[in-house]
Structure 1
Amino acid sequence: MTIRTCICVFLLCLLPNCAAATIPIGMFRTECQDRHFWLSFKSNFLGQSFRFDVEDGTGVHTLLGQAAAECGYNMGLDSWGNLVVRVSYLACYVDNENDSVFRLLVWLVNRDLEGVETSYPLQLTCPLHHPWKPREIICEENYMEVSAMKQVPPANQTGLEWMPAPPVSSDGGLREWRVVFRVPSDRPEGMKEQTLPVEMAHLLGYRIGTTDSRVLLRGSYGSRLSYKLQEKGIEVEVVSATLLHKHHWTLLRADVSVACSISKASMDGDDILLRFPRVLPPLVPPPVTNERLRLGVDGAALSDCIVRQRGYDVQERDGLVEIRIPFGAEGGSIKSQVVEGQYSQSFYFDLFYMHQWADSQWALTEYRSFRPLSVLYLPRTPILINETSVSEGQFSVTLGSFPRDVFLTNITVGEQSMSWGEAEQMGVHLAQVPYPNGSHAYLLQSPFSHSLVSQKYIGEGYRRYTLALTFTLSVFPHSDLYHHPANLEADVQDVVLPNVTGSCSSKGVRLQLRYGTMDSQWEVYLGGRRLDWELVELGGYALETRWDYFSMVVPLYALGMDYEGLSLHGLAVTVSMTLEDKQTSKKELSFTQRCVFDVKELLVCLPDNTVLVIVDSSSVTPPLEPNLTTLLDPSCVPVETEGTRSLYKFSLDSCGTAVTLEEDHIVYSNKVQFWPTAPFGLTHIAPNPRFSIPVGCIHPVNGTRTLTIYQPRALQAWPYIRSSHSQHQHPGTRPHPFIQGRKRNRLPTGPLSSEVYPYLQHTHPDHHDAGGSWHHRRRKLGWPGVQPLHNINELSVE
C-alpha cells in the first residue's frame, strides 16, 4: 500500500531582493512520495512567466533544462497547464539528515506583464517511509539515477568487492574517486573501458555523489558515455559504470550501471500499450528471483486491487512486461479538442512502473520508471443514449461523457436555437449528469406534445414523433465549438383519424369533419379540388368551426358538387370529401354524400350534345296536360310526366333543333310547345300556340364543351359565414386547420359564367310571362336572373 504523508510546509521570506508572498489556499499541493518530493501549482496561479529556484546554505540556485536533469529535478506542465515538480530525495541542494529525513527550500518566482517578480517560498520536509534497498534505479522523464549501499555488503552481494587501496591525495574526498565507464567498441570483447576522475565525469554531465550510506550516479538522457541497445524489440538507453571510492583506507568498487527503456507507447484498440523488457541484461546477471511488479499514477504505487478496479492490465509475455491502460481510465487526464469539426480527445497518463528483483549480484534491486503517456487528437464521437419513454410520452436523451473542459452552451431544436435558460422557459428540460470519475453528460427531455416536435402519420394508427436537435458544446480554454446533431424518433399508436359525416338539407349538402388527433397532417379535397379559402368563397360555402370539428354546407349548384341524374323526382347530386397525407399524397379517407333535390324547372346542356329539360306548365290557364306537349318535331314527346311537369331528353341534332352561328358560338334552338286541337265544327284556329317555351344551348365553335345547368331564377344566396364570425358565436372554436390559404375581404365576381349560355322563354298567348318570364337577353357573362353552372360529369336521366 502506498503511504502518502503531507509535507511540513513553512512559508518563509529569506531572499532580500524580492517581494515574498503567501501562496493562496488551493493554489498548490505537496506530497511526500516514496523517494521524492512532489509539488503542483495551479495554472491560474502561475504568472506571465515563472521560474523554480531552490536554496541551500550556499545560496539560491535557478534550475533549468540540463542542470535540472543532472541535479535530479523534473519540472513540467500537465495537460491542464499546472506546474508539476518532482525532486529526488538525493537531488542537489536537498538537506539530507542520515538518509532518513529530507528538507528542501524552494521558491516559485512569478513575473507579471510589467516585469515585477513575486516570490513564494516553501520549506518542505519529508521523512523516509521505507528503508533503502541495496540498489535503487530511477528512470525519470529527463534523467537516470542509480544509488547503491556504501556500507560493507553482506557476503552474498558480489556487486561490492574489496580491493587493496591505492595511494590517494592528501585532501581525500571525491577528488580521489574514479569512474570506469564501459562503452561498445569494435574489439572482440565488444566493450571498452574509460576511467575518469569524478571531476571529469561532472563535466560530461554526470553527477557522482555520496551520502552517509549510499553512493549514486545520475545523468540526463543522451549523455556522452551512454549507449542504446535493443532488448526484445524495446529500445533501452544504458550507462554502464563502476564507481571506485575509498572506505577505511580500502578501495571499494560499486557497480553503478543504469538502464532505462525509452520506447514510446502505442495505441492498441482503445488501450495505451507500453512494453518493458522483463530483464535488462546490463543490470541483471542471472538467475533472477523474488520478482514483484507494481503500477502507480503520478509517482505513487497502487494496490493490486485498485489496479484491477481501474481496468489496468499487466501481463508478462515473451520476456516482456505489457501494460495496458484503457483510454480515459481513472487516474489519467482527458483534454478535449475540436479538430476540423470533429470532437477529439487527448489522454494524458503519468504512469509509475516499479519492478523489484533479486539476482546473483544484488540481494534486492528496486527499479522505478516514470513514464508520461499521451495520446493526441483521437476522434471520440460522444455517445448518445436514447432513453425515450413512449408510456410517458417524453423524449429523453443523454449525450456524453465529457471531461471537465467541455460545457453545453446552447441547443438547436428544428430551426430554433436557444440557450440553457431559454430552453427551460420553452419547456425543454436540460441537466448536467455527473459521474464518479469526474466526467459528466448532458440530459435533455421534451414531451412529445411540444410545439417543436414534428409529427407524421405513418399508417395503421401510428404517429411518428421526431425531435431534431443539435447540441452546441464549447471546449475550454479557447471556446472552440463542437456541434453534435441528434434525430430522435418515437412511433406511437395514438392517432385518431378524421371522421366525415354528411346530411342533406334544403340549402344544400352538409358535411361535418371531426379533426382527430393530427389535423396538420392532412390535405382536404372537395370534389377533386383542394379545399382552400378561394374555393370556400367562390362556392359560397357556409362554415361553422369548433375546437374539435368543422361543418360546411355546399349549396346546390355550387363548385364541388357532382350531378348524377335528373328526373321528375329531383336532381341527384353527390359531394365527395377526400383526405390525403400532405407528405405522401396517399388517400387516407374518402367520403361521399348523396342527395336528391326537388327541381321544378331546369335545363341541362351536356357535353355530348344531349339536352335535358324539365318544364312546368302549372301557370298556364286553362290547365295543360304535360304529356300533350312536344318539341318542334311533334314526334319528340316527353320521356316522363308527372302532374304539371314534363321531362325531355333529346339530341341537339334532332327534334327539329335549329342551328345558327353567333360570333364565336353555335346557338341550338328548339321549343317545348302545345298545339291545341280545334273544337268540332270550328274552322278558325289560333295562329299561335297556346303554350311555347324556347329551349336551347350555346357551345363554343372551337373549345371544350362542358356540362351546363340553367335554372329559371337564381337561388337565394346562402349567407356566407366566415370562420371569424363562427368563432364569435362559439368561444370553443380555433383557426381552421384544414382550409389552406388566406380568406379574402370580399367574394369574387366571375368565373361562374359558362362558355355556353342556355336559355328558356315562357310565352303566354297574350305575350305576357306565364309564371314569370325567362328573358332571352344575352350578355358576355350570361343573363341577369339566371345562374348557369358547369361540371365535368355527365348527367343522366333517372
Structure 2
Amino acid sequence: VFIWLYSGSEFLLTFSSRPFAVCMFRTECQDRHFWLLVKSSFLGSEFRLDAEDSNGVHSLLGQHAVECGYNIVLDSRGDLVLRASYLACHVENQNDAEFRLLVWFINRDSTDEERGYPLLLTCLLQQPWSPREMVCEENYMEVKSIVIPGTNLTLSAQGSEAGLREWRVVFRLPHQETGAMKEETVPVQMAHLLGYHVNTTQSRILLRCAYGSRLSYTVQARRIQITAVKMRCVLRQVSWRLSSSLGKARLEGSHVVWSFPQVFSALVQPPFGNRGVRVGIENHFLSDCLANQRGYQVLERGGTVEIQVPFGAEGGLLKSHVNNNQYSQSYFIDLFYLHQWQDAQWTLTQQRTFRPLYLVQLPRTPVLINNTVPAEGVFSLILGAFPHDVSLVNITVGGHPVAWVEADGLGLKLSHVPFPNGTHGYLLEVPFPHPVVSQKVRIAGKSYRKYTLSVVFSFIISPQAQLYHHTATVESDVQDVVLPSVEARCTQRGVQLLLHYGNIDWQWEVYVGGLRLDWELVELGGYTVSAQVDHLSMEVPLYSPGMTYEVRPGRHHNFPGDGGVLHLQHLPDCVFPVRELLVCLPDGEMVVLIDMSSVVPPVDPKWVTLLDPACGPLFTDGTQALFSFNVDSCGTMKVVSWTCSHLDINKCFKCSYNLIASLEFDCRDPFLIPVGCVHPANGTRTLGIYQPHSLPPLPHASHSRKSRTPRSARARKRPFWIGQSDSLARLALELTGDF
C-alpha cells in the first residue's frame, strides 16, 4: 500500500508498511525533465530501475535507456540520480502538457531480500514548448519540433507503427576522403535498428540518438569537438539537425572553464539572432544576481562562449585526497545551460545542455592567510579552504603536539572559520611573547625584533581516515627593542652609573674600560654594585681600574663603557681638581704632581728637582710642580728583585721594585718626598694612578742619610706608592728604608 503526497511541483511517496523509506527518495519536476534521487545509504548491494506502462515493465538499462531518453548515474556523493525526458518512452503523455511516469526502484537489502518501491512521478508543463527544442544530455541527443509551416503534415498517434511504416530517412554525412556531403536513405525501421528513436506526439516530431551512433559524425569547430546528425524524412518533408559539444572542462588559473561554439553551423540557417544564455546548477537556473554572487561568468570570445566557474564555488562538490602528504582536490559541478536563438527557419530554438564537469585530483596547496597586525602583538593565521571531508586533529608548536581541547589552556586560540562557498578554514592566534614563538633581535639602523612562529597543522581526511600535515612559518618584525643604556653622574668619589638592561633577553657582559666586570674587578677597584630588577647601579671610584683619563686644562677625565656588542658612549665628562698625583705609565714613564702650598716656610716649586738636579719640573704655578721622567733616568733607583706569592693559589712570579729617590729643594736642608712604582718583572705593565691622601700611612723607617728636616717638612715625609698592591709598596719601604 502506498500513498502519493504532493508538495508544490514535487511528489513524494510514503508506505504504510515501510514508512522509513520516504526519506530515502527525492523527486522534482524540472523544466523539461523528471528528476529522481535515491540516497546512497539506501541503495543496498544491488539495485535497478524499471519503468512500467500499459505494455508492462521495462528495464531501464543499456541502449534501451539511452534511446528512450533516460539518464541514470551515480553522482559525486554516491547517490543514484535519474533524469528522464518528458517525451521519454513509457511516459503517459496527455496533450503534451501533462506527463506521468511510474518508476520501480528495486534493491537487495542486508538480508539479501529483493524489495521493490514504486514511485509515481507526475509533472505539468510549466513553460510552453518552443518551435524547436534540442537536448544534449550526458548520454544522448534529442530534438523535438513542431511541423515546419507549409508542409501540411498530419501527425499520427504517439508510437503508432502504422503511421511511421512508410517513412524514409535520409542521412547526410561527409565523405571520408573528399569531405563532400553524401546521402544515405534508410527506412525508419532501419533507423530504429541503427539506434535512432523516431517518434511523434500530438504536436511534435521527435528524434533521439546516442552519441557516436552510426551515420553521425564528429567535426572540430574552434578546436571544440562536436557530434552532429543531419537527416530528413523523405515522405513527410521533415528535417532534423542535431549537434552537441563534447568539450571537457579545463582549469585556467582559479576557474573551471567550459567552451562551446556560439553558433552550431549545422543547426542554423542565416541570418542568426542570438537570444542569450542562461546557466544553472543541477537542472536549476540561477538568477543573474546569484550567479554573480558565486562568481559564475558567461563570456563571448570570437564566436565561442565560455562559462567560467571558480574552482570550489558553491553549487559544486569538492573532494579531498592525500598522496605522499601532497594534498589535492577533485571538483565536480553538474552544469546546465540554455542557449536560445532564431534563424531564417525557426522563430525560436532552445538548446538545453547537461554537462557534468570533473577536475580530478588537482594539487591544491592550502592557502595561509596571515592577518597578523604587528602592533597588536598577536599572530593571526587562517589556513584553508577545505571541504567538509577535512577536519583538524591537532597542531604542533615548539615540537609538541597540541590537541584542539588543550589549546586554550596553553594560551593558544584555535577556532573554526566557515566560508560562504561552503568550505571552511581554521584560525590560530598566538601572542608574540608566547614561549613557542622564537625571537631574534636585529641591531642595524633602526633596531627591531623578529618574531617567528613555526606550526604544523595535522588533518584527517574522511572517510578514508588519511592524515595530512601542513607546515607553516610566519614572521613579524616589530620595532619594540629597548637597547641597554647607561646613565652617569659625577660624584666627589668618582662616577656613579645606572646600567639599564632594556628588554632584550640576552646574557650581557659589562666591560669597564676594556676590563670585564666581575667580582674580582669589583673588589680590586673598590666598586659599589647593586643589582635591581631593571638596572644595575654601580659606583666607580676615581683612579680605579677601568678608568680612562685625558690631560686637559682643568685636569678631568671621561669614562667610555662597552656593553657586549653595543658601545655605550657619549657619557658626560667628569672634572676632578687634582692637587697631588703620581702616575705610573706602562712604558716606564712616571708623572708626579706635588703640592707645595702647605710647606712652611713657603717654597717656590720651580726650585724643586729630582735626585738629579738637572731634572726640574715641566710646569709650575706657584704652589704645584709637575714632573715627567723615565724610570731609567733622573737618578731613579731599582731595588733588587725578590720572589713574592700572589693571592691566587698555585701561582707564583718574580717582582722587581723600582724606587725613585726623594725630591730636593735645598741640598743643604733637603725636603724629602719618596715616590715609587711597583711593576711586575714579567708581563705587561699597566697604568696606575694614585692620590697620596687616600693611602693609609706607612710604618716609619729610619733614613739612610742624616739631614736636618723642618717640623713642617717632616709632616710631608709621607711617600707616594702605586703598583700591584698596597702590601708590596709597604714591603718595599721596609726593605729600602727612608732615604
Letter paired with 2:220: Q
TM-score, normalised with respect to structure 2: 0.72
Displacement of 1:367 after TM fit? 1.6
Are 1:125 and 2:121 an aligned pair?
yes
- Distance in 2 of aligned mates of 1:108 and 1:97: 28
Residues 272 and 290 (structure 1 numbering): CA distance in 2 closer, same or farther, change over 3 Å? closer
Alignment match, 2:182: 191
Displacement of 1:120 after TM fit? 8.1
One of 263, 266, 274 as aligned partner of 2:247: 263
Alignment match, 2:658: 669
Alignment match, 1:763: 701
One of 477, 481, 486 as aligned partner of 1:500: 486
Report if the CA contact (8 A) 1:469-1:486 is conserved.
Answer: yes
Alignment match, 1:239: 229
Report if the CA contact (8 A) 1:46-1:110 is conserved.
Answer: no
Letter paired with 2:122: C
- Distance in 2 of aligned mates of 1:231 and 1:331: 29
One of 655, 659, 679 as aligned partner of 2:634: 655
SS at match of 1:282: helix
One of 1, 10, 14 as aligned partner of 2:13: 10
Report if the CA contact (8 A) 2:556-2:573 is conserved.
Answer: no
- Distance in 1 of aligned mates of 2:115 and 2:35: 19
Report if the CA contact (8 A) 1:107-1:122 is conserved.
Answer: yes
For residues 335-346 of structure 1, the aligned pairs below 5 Å read: 335=319, 346=330
Alignment match, 1:728: none
Residues 205 and 676 (structure 1 numbering): CA distance in 2 closer, same or farther, change over 3 Å? closer
- Distance in 1 of aligned mates of 2:227 and 2:133: 17
One of 459, 469, 472 as aligned partner of 2:457: 472
Alignment match, 2:471: 483
Report if the CA contact (8 A) 2:233-2:239 is conserved.
Answer: yes
1:351-390 residue CA offsets vs partner (Å, 9 max, x unmatched):
2121334555556543211122344527577373647374
Displacement of 1:140 after TM fit? 1.1
Displacement of 1:412 after TM fit? 6.7
Residues 490 and 662 (structure 1 numbering): CA distance in 2 closer, same or farther, change over 3 Å? closer
Displacement of 1:236 after TM fit? 1.5
Report if the CA contact (8 A) 2:166-2:187 is conserved.
Answer: no
Residues 217 and 471 (structure 1 numbering): CA distance in 2 closer, same or farther, change over 3 Å? farther
For residues 62-101 of structure 1, the aligned pairs below 5 Å read: 68-79=65-76, 83-92=80-89, 99=96, 100-101=98-99
SS at match of 1:551: strand
Letter paired with 1:192: E
Report if the CA contact (8 A) 1:671-1:692 is conserved.
Answer: no
For residues 623-662 of structure 1, the aligned pairs below 5 Å read: 632-633=611-612, 635-636=614-615, 649-658=628-637
- Distance in 2 of aligned mates of 1:629 and 1:588: 43
Displacement of 1:137 after TM fit? 1.9
For residues 299-698 of structure 1, the aligned pairs below 5 Å read: 299-315=283-299, 318-335=302-319, 346-359=330-343, 364-375=348-359, 377=362, 382=367, 384=369, 386=371, 388=373, 390=375, 403-405=387-389, 407=391, 418-440=402-424, 442-443=426-427, 452=437, 454=439, 456=441, 466=451, 468=453, 470=455, 472=457, 474=459, 476-477=461-462, 478-489=466-477, 500-504=486-490, 509-515=495-501, 525-528=511-514, 541-554=527-540, 559-564=545-550, 574-578=558-562, 585=565, 587=567, 590-592=570-572, 594=574, 596=576, 604-612=583-591, 632-633=611-612, 635-636=614-615, 649-658=628-637, 667=656, 669-673=658-662, 695-698=676-679
Report if the CA contact (8 A) 2:294-2:313 is conserved.
Answer: yes
- Distance in 2 of aligned mates of 1:649 and 1:75: 114
Letter paired with 1:193: E
Residues 502 and 469 (structure 1 numbering): CA distance in 2 closer, same or farther, change over 3 Å? same
- Distance in 1 of aligned mates of 2:538 and 2:430: 37
Report if the CA contact (8 A) 1:610-1:649 is conserved.
Answer: yes
Displacement of 1:127 after TM fit? 0.7
1:212-268 residue CA offsets vs partner (Å, 9 max, x unmatched):
665544332222332112345532102334468xxxxxx756545422111334455
Choose between structure 1 and 2 for higher RCO, CA contacts under 8 A separated by at least 6 residues.
1
1:576-598 residue CA offsets vs partner (Å, 9 max, x unmatched):
33457xxxx56576425637498
Alignment match, 1:707: 687
Displacement of 1:54 after TM fit? 3.1
Alignment match, 1:140: 137
1:327-356 residue CA offsets vs partner (Å, 9 max, x unmatched):
455434455667898876654432212133
Residues 675 and 227 (structure 1 numbering): CA distance in 2 closer, same or farther, change over 3 Å? closer
SS at match of 1:591: coil
Displacement of 1:784 after TM fit? 5.0
Report if the CA contact (8 A) 2:489-2:497 is conserved.
Answer: yes
Residues 53 and 555 (structure 1 numbering): CA distance in 2 closer, same or farther, change over 3 Å? farther
- Distance in 2 of aligned mates of 1:526 and 1:416: 43
- Distance in 2 of aligned mates of 1:332 and 1:323: 14
One of 185, 199, 210 as aligned partner of 1:220: 210
Q: Which runs of 5+ in 2 are unaligned?
A: 1-6, 644-652, 706-714, 732-739
For residues 763-782 of structure 1, the aligned pairs below 5 Å read: 763-765=701-703
Displacement of 1:271 after TM fit? 4.6
- Distance in 1 of aligned mates of 2:582 and 2:493: 20
Report if the CA contact (8 A) 2:326-2:363 is conserved.
Answer: no
Alignment match, 1:726: none
1:79-128 residue CA offsets vs partner (Å, 9 max, x unmatched):
5555544333344555656652323434374777xx95786846252312
SS at match of 1:126: strand
- Distance in 2 of aligned mates of 1:699 and 1:637: 28
SS at match of 1:263: coil
1:602-621 residue CA offsets vs partner (Å, 9 max, x unmatched):
8653222112468999xxxx
Backbone CA RMSD of aligned residues: 5.7
Alignment match, 2:149: 156
Residues 575 and 690 (structure 1 numbering): CA distance in 2 closer, same or farther, change over 3 Å? closer
Report if the CA contact (8 A) 1:614-1:647 is conserved.
Answer: yes
Report if the CA contact (8 A) 1:239-1:257 is conserved.
Answer: yes
- Distance in 1 of aligned mates of 2:447 and 2:666: 75
Residues 372 and 429 (structure 1 numbering): CA distance in 2 closer, same or farther, change over 3 Å? same
Q: How many residues align?
A: 691
- Distance in 1 of aligned mates of 2:689 and 2:195: 115
Residues 321 and 615 (structure 1 numbering): CA distance in 2 closer, same or farther, change over 3 Å? closer
Report if the CA contact (8 A) 1:38-1:86 is conserved.
Answer: yes
Alignment match, 2:266: 282
Report if the CA contact (8 A) 1:353-1:369 is conserved.
Answer: yes
- Distance in 2 of aligned mates of 1:214 and 1:403: 46
TM-score, normalised with respect to structure 1: 0.67
- Distance in 2 of aligned mates of 1:298 and 1:574: 86
Report if the CA contact (8 A) 1:298-1:351 is conserved.
Answer: yes
Report if the CA contact (8 A) 2:312-2:421 is conserved.
Answer: no
Report if the CA contact (8 A) 1:495-1:517 is conserved.
Answer: yes
Alignment match, 2:103: 105
Letter paired with 1:472: F
Report if the CA contact (8 A) 1:103-1:124 is conserved.
Answer: yes
SS at match of 1:706: coil
Percent sequence identity over aligned pairs: 41
Residues 641 and 463 (structure 1 numbering): CA distance in 2 closer, same or farther, change over 3 Å? same
Q: Which runs of 5+ in 1 are unaligned?
A: 15-19, 245-250, 681-688, 717-759, 789-798
- Distance in 2 of aligned mates of 1:349 and 1:40: 17
